[in-house]
Structure 1
Amino acid sequence: MYQVDLGPLKSTVSEWGTMESRLGEAASEAHSGMLRKANRARWSGVNADVTRPFIKAVADEITDAHVESRDLHDKLSAAYKALKSIQDDLQMKVDDARRKGIEISDGKDGQILCKYPPQPGHQNEVISEKRRKALKSLAEDLTGLVKRANEQDSYTAGILAKIHGNDPHNFGKNGPIDKYEAKQALRITKKGTDASTKEIRELAEILKYNKDNPAFSHTFFKGLGGPKETLEYYARMSIDGTGAPGKSRLDAVQDLQRYLGPTLATATDPDHKGYLNWGPQFRRLGTKEIDIEGIGFKPQGYQLLGGILRHGHYDKSFLTPIAEHVVQLQHDHPKGYWNTPSGPDMQFGFDPNGKKNSGYDPLTSVLEALGHSPEASEAFFSKDPTETPVTAYDENGKVDPNKTIGYRYLEELTSKDFHWNNDGSSPVKGERLMSGKDAMGHALESASIGTPYDHPSANGASEHTTPRASIVNRLIESVDNNPDFVSRDISDSMGKIAGEYMPEFNKALAEADGKSDGTLFSTEHSISFNSKASVRFLDALGRHPEGHAEATLGAQQYQAQRMHTVVQNPGEFPGSTEENLRDIARNGGTVEGILGSARHDAEISGGQEREKEFNEEVEQRGEMVKKIIGVPLDAVAERVPVGGELVSGVSEQIVDSIVESHQKNTSQEDADNAATVSFDTRKEAGEWAQQAVRSSGYSSGVDPEVVARNIAQEVAGGYDHGEQLRENGFDNKARRPSE
């Protein structure tokens, strides 16, 4: 895979593109020229009975040839793009590893081996745990890439062999390949749970490689019968997988769920001609009980649909009304609305891929769907009845003109009174599984950042539009009113949002400081975050290891980028470059002061084990940042969970310094109390800033040592100021949130 020359495949794609174009012209000429003349001719006898049908058959055969050439071109083109992307990613990872002295080789059963070759005199040296983890991670990444390449190769070879139907005298015998594949997929669905595990894997593979194909998706879901039949089929298959003994069947059904959703997203997308306008029917079925034989209770439509919606990027016209209806039902029935099995549930419900939840709560599912659909989530969280009337739905999902919605969904879901259902079917005693809040965090990420929460943006940057910034501003105000909303389930998402919106947070804190007017921290909109609410928001997320790690790395990344900008473009900012660097450093220190003191409070109650959790989260996310530095973002399978923009300008040395300082804290014998860690963090914040300014470069004629010393002093002053801001953010009556 590393060495294979994909040039011939690229040339073949080009040649088939030319062939398709020419056959398209020939087919057009055959029908508009030859066949039209034959139909107009006043023939009789043999010419009418034989020649005219023969001419039509020839014209149709040329059209079939065009269809077949188009299918060949499409499949080869898709294969080339996929294999080239995989190869680019693999070559980059391998080359980078080899520069670091790592030896890579093929192992058994498709596994790839990575190791550091023994150095003379160090043959018996034991490799460090950190290096061992890095080698294991690299080997898994490379093995996964080769596996993806093999899957793509196998699928393409198989489908190319079926395109012409094994008849050398009849073009396109199977018809257009997408419709042929839809027929093959429907053949398996008709067997239901009687389909073999191998057949379910085959079905999942067909969906995987055709999920973005409108013609396939329309034919497939029409073939299933309609919305109700789609829900019934999914219900039977999900229970068949989650209730099956052994892992093989479950794995196959997990793949089926993983690709059924994206296929539905394509089928219901109004951007495609002939799309399926199934939204109103799904809403009508949402509260209806669906009788599924053999599962012991009657689930409602939304419980089944939710399992499908968890995967796929849906159009807002389809998904947003469904999300609104589900939240309205939850608002009207806060104590529960959805059917669940009576007694312990030995199965895992309607979410085969779920780890903490059963899938019985559709609110969790639609929030997860919003997390993958940024346009829909932005529209959902932007709803404001004080500005524009919000559509109200009755129990059956129909628009109810006599009903009024007087609340905003963002505030509804973040209020103290909102009841989050426990979506675990049989939770451990004393444990509260809050997968709904985790999904809520994902939905907020996609709405505020503008990309699916688990995928990076195409160019590594996110546009901070007025609607998105308004959502974050309202989120900050909601957390200010209800700090306990930021629990561990959602803190990582809150940290990512904070990391992404560091320009706005820095601007708010600079204006509150009085030493700067905030012009250094420009934004693309006119939304201003409230300073006190911003402090309390950072305090709430800083108390949790995941949120603290995300926000810390996001803050340091932004500080480094901002310093680089003012050094490289001094004429764009008022004041001298050194003054601007000092202001940035002070503001960065203020952010760290808030986050560090919040962590300090959390560690007082948790001790050294709690401190270890904080440090492990920073290490994990730091390694993820370094992993994608310089990597083409479209080659990253999932969005790396790190706050802020994912750009190659982040210095690996800066990330290393942050991670190393946290590792040092954990290993120090005297770092067994929060005070020591807090003091170290104050010092290390200055070191991070000095590293950032060194990476940015110095203006000519300045003394680097003086600049570095000044930067450290500004960070220290900012850190103290941040601690004070945080103290001032709470009065004697407003107590801080507890775990």
Structure 2
Amino acid sequence: MLKFDQVLHARLGGLKEAVTVWTETVSKLEKTKEKAENGLRSKADKADWKGENAGVTQAFVRKTAKEFGDALTEATSIRNILRDAESEFKAAKSALEKLVEQAPGKGIRIDPDGTVSYLVHPDRRSKDYDGPEPEQADFEAMRSSIKAAVDRANEADDIASRALRALVGKDKNNFSGTKYDSLAAASKAQDAEDAHTAYELYKKGDDATPQEIDRLNALFEDNKKDPYFAERFALEVGPKGSMEYWADMGDPSDGSRLGVDHRDKLKGLQQNWSLTLATATHSHSPEMEQWKADVIKAGSEPVQTRGTSPYGFQVMSNLMRVGDYDDTFLRDYGNGLVATERRMTHDGRLPADRAWLQTTGMPSHLNWQGGDLGKDPMIGFMEALGHNPKASTDFFNHDIDLTPGDGKDDKKLDPFDYFSKDRKWPEELDDKGHLTREPGYDALGHALEAATTGHPYDAETEGLEDVRTKENAEVMQKVVERYGSDPKYMHEQPGIDDSLGKMGAAYIDELNRSLETDSDTTMEEKKNSPFGSNDAKGGSRFGDEFDTGLLWNRGDAVNFMGIVSQSETGHSTLSAAEMIYTTSVLDEVGPKPGSSFDERDLTDARTTLRIGSEAQGIMDESRMAQIDKDYEKDSEEHKKAVGKTTEWVKFGVGAAAAGGVVALTGGAGGVLVPLAAETVGGAVVTFIGMEADDMAEKYEKDEMLKKKSDDLSDEALAMGKENSLRPGIAYANAPGWSEKDRNYLDETLVDYVRDARLHARDNSLPDPYEKK
């Protein structure tokens, strides 16, 4: 594996010389081949040899003549491989040289190992520094460009070395005659060879040894995201072949020890198989279009193994849990899957789990990723949507035709209503042997995260940008309406609360915009609102109607934030998002550090802190009310739950700002929070670096448990109030303010917001959920 410095300082003279030498060799062999064919072989063919001499000598001459042709083919292939490899290395090297040359002008330093950092760190800049000030996005772009260049060199190196080994061959007495017109042709040939090798291993089924499963996994890994390999493999195995193979792997009755002794290998195989088929679906060749149609057609048919008979949809959905499947394929697959379930449940008159009972034999073990055994095909499908935001957004925004092709019966189904309200998700057997609906609702949450945020639910947070569209917002409107209408939806759908918290965090700007209005029912924003995600011209990213219009009214925003905050995870995620968003708004609307200002200039800053404090109050009060409902007062469980209500502040330790989005990497997990500006301001940076205190660390366990629950609740709410002041404190302490201005801002803004916290109690908060 080539490293940054090896590519940057690569000496390509020897490789260029080798290309020249092999080009000369090709020229010489062309002449030799012509002599061999026109002279040696031609004369041998015309000779009238008889007897033993004819059977030996004539064949030998012909074979010798052919070897000259094979030698020319092999030499030409070697020259072509070396020529293209040299071209790729040169391009990669030039790209790195250009990046190194440009970096200082952007205020960036590139270390010898390729690490990117500030040329002059902000902490070491002089007061009169006027050089470039790179943003996080600049660093990410530089890292991405470096990686692309190094990857290009490594890919060329891998293909070339493998091709050259194949050309030399193992037979010392014969030239291989292998023909490669280019490095790309060699890559394609290698993909086809690997796909066929994988196919031969596939044919062994669960009779394969652990070593053969390792080999199959290695082939998948080596060709990760390689379109040609993926398509060749998918077509060689066929749609039913994949289903039969995976069903056989999940058959507990046939004596195979793979699922008993090597679960980790099957887990890796499921992931790799899924990734490979996902890549294959992006091909639109006639053969792959037929493959996709056949997968959906086979979905409603049982896949019979020796001891099991899962439906095709059950098997295939478990091979869709990982990877980015094609948009159109996911839409068609989902429509077919839902239509099949509705038909099998007689339009919902039977519960969903009745649709997926196997016709014969033992239950199949189709999912090795953990969480469930894979009985419900909707779980795998939702995970597939969770990895494809475009497909997920489209799926939840359009009705499903349950009777396609029937001109007389136009029966439609709203997929959002069906999955979030009407469908009773089957209980699944989890890793601990318990029956639970959590895997299903967890997967539904993942699909909705992708549909509302525009990013895969498990996307790497570094470098992500705010990409929300009107279509994403339309799904979010449905989410707020559904889950803000009654606490039962969240509480009776175990596993969805963390996703609701992340969706709320992604729309914290629009929630704040609604909270600012004076009426619970108006759909118009308060004039000159400092909140909302607008473009450079002051318009809404969600369309003209939302330039001043709201996605939801204040009452819906209060209910949604209150209900989601009844969950420990939801409360912590929304609280962290509220703090970071409020701080970013202060950066945008407040006077800039170092500038002169008067009281009128602080109007938007006061509004921002007031709404932020009120929002935090809504969340804290809702969480406390739910704790009171869940646990007996003064019990150890009650006190521990209260103690955790402020632990979310730990997120500040690991928060990172990037590309107009803040990634909360601590207590809130990978949550994307929109900022009020494209760049990160001083208040946000200060806020991220502030030390966080929390109740769990403030008290020793024994001391905390000696207190009364009411006293602990009062202290926790007081601490929540103090935490809601943190954006104002960060703003007042941002670099650039004089000591006098810093003290004034701290006193004015902080004192103002202490009283604003009381507004939270004026809201009609949703009732806590009471378990049946």
Find the counterpart in structure 2 of residue 519 from structure 1: 529
Task: State the Cα distance separating 1:719 from its structure 2 match.
Answer: 2.6
2:698 counterpart residue number:
664
Distance 1:192 1:609, change over 3 A: same
Change (3 A) 1:166 1:683: same
Q: Distance in 2 between matches of 1:504 and 1:405?
A: 35
Q: Distance in 2 between matches of 1:16 and 1:619?
A: 61
1:504 maps to what in 2?
510
AA at the equivalent of 2:425: W
- Of 305, 320, 325, the match for 2:331: 320
Does the residue aligned with 1:165 lie in a helix, a strand or coil? helix
Deviations 1:223-276 (A, max 9, x none): 21x101111112223457998478751111111111111111111104789755
Distance 2:194 2:235 in 1: 14
Alignment of 1:348-497 (within 5 A): 349-354=365-370, 356-383=371-398, 390-394=399-403, 399-415=405-421, 417-424=422-429, 432-456=436-460, 459-487=463-491, 488-497=494-503
Partner of 2:168: 167
- SS across alignment from 1:302: helix
Unpaired runs of at least 5, structure 2: 46-61, 96-109, 119-149, 170-174, 181-185, 534-540
Describe the SS at the equivalent of 1:511.
coil
Structure 1 letter corresponding to 2:246: Y
Give the 3-state SS of the residue equivalent to 1:468 in structure 2: helix
**Alpha carbons 1:593, 1:718 under 8 Å: kept:** no
Contact 1:615 1:666 in 2 (8 A): no
Instruction: State how far apart, in whole Å, the 2-side matches of 1:327 and 1:566 are.
Output: 48
Task: Quote how far apart the aligned CAs of 1:579 are.
Answer: 1.7
Say whether the 8 Å CA contact 1:310–1:366 is kept in structure 2: yes
Report how far residue 528 of structure 1 moved. 2.3
One of 694, 699, 702 as aligned partner of 2:732: 694
Matched, 1:612 2:662: no
2:608 match: 584
> Using the alignment, how far apart are the partners of 1:556 and 1:444 within structure 2?
24
1:538 Cα deviation after fit: 0.8
CA contact (8 A) 1:370 1:443 kept: yes
Secondary structure of 2:378's aligned partner: helix
Q: Which amino acid aligns with 2:243?
A: L
User: CA offsets, 1:122-163, max 9 Å, x none?
Assistant: xxxxxxxxxxxxxxxxxxxxxxxxxxx9xx999x98994576
The match for 2:223 is 210
Tell me the C-alpha RMSD between the 2 structures.
Answer: 5.2
Structure-2-length-normalised TM-score: 0.70
- The CA deviation string for residues 317-358 of structure 1, in whole angstroms up to 9 with x for no partner, is 11122123333444452313444469997x87211012x211
Amino acid at match of 1:710: T
Match 2:627 to one of 581, 599, 603: 603
Q: Does the 8 A contact of 1:671 with 1:677 survive in 2? A: no
Q: Secondary structure at the match of 2:763?
A: helix
Shift of 1:436: 0.8
Residues 80-91 of structure 1 mapped to structure 2, 5 A cutoff? none
Between 1:325-334 and 1:573-582, the stretch displaced more is 573-582
Residue matched to 2:138: none
Cα pair distance change 1:691/1:624, threshold 3 Å: closer
CA 1:282–1:62: 2 relative to 1, 3 Å:
same
Counterpart pick for 1:562 among 575, 585, 588? 585
Distance 1:636 1:680 in 2: 24
1:223 aligns with 2:236: yes
Amino acid at match of 1:551: L
Does the 8 A contact of 1:476 with 1:534 survive in 2? yes
Other structure's SS at 1:644 match: strand
Larger Rg: 2
Evaluate the alpha carbon distance shift between residue 239 and residue 19 of structure 1 in structure 2; reply closer, same or farther with a 3 A threshold.
farther
Distance 2:416 2:12 in 1: 50
Contact 1:261 1:310 survives alignment (8 Å): yes
SS of equivalent to 1:298: coil
Structure 1 residues not aligned, in runs of 5+: 82-86, 96-148, 384-389
Give the SS at the match of 2:304. coil
User: 2:554 corresponds to which residue?
Assistant: 531
Letter in 2 for 1:236: D
Are 2:652 and 2:689, in contact at CA under 8 Å, matched by a contact in 1? no
CA 558–722 in structure 1, closer or farther in 2 if over 3 Å, else same: same
Any idea what the Cα deviations from partners look like across 1:574-626, whole Å, max 9, x if unmatched? 99442221111111112101111111111213255356357658757945960
Aligned residue number for residue 671 of structure 2: 642
1:38-117 residue pairs with structure 2 within 5 A? Answer: 46=42, 58=72, 62-63=76-77, 66=80
Distance 1:161 1:64, change over 3 A: closer
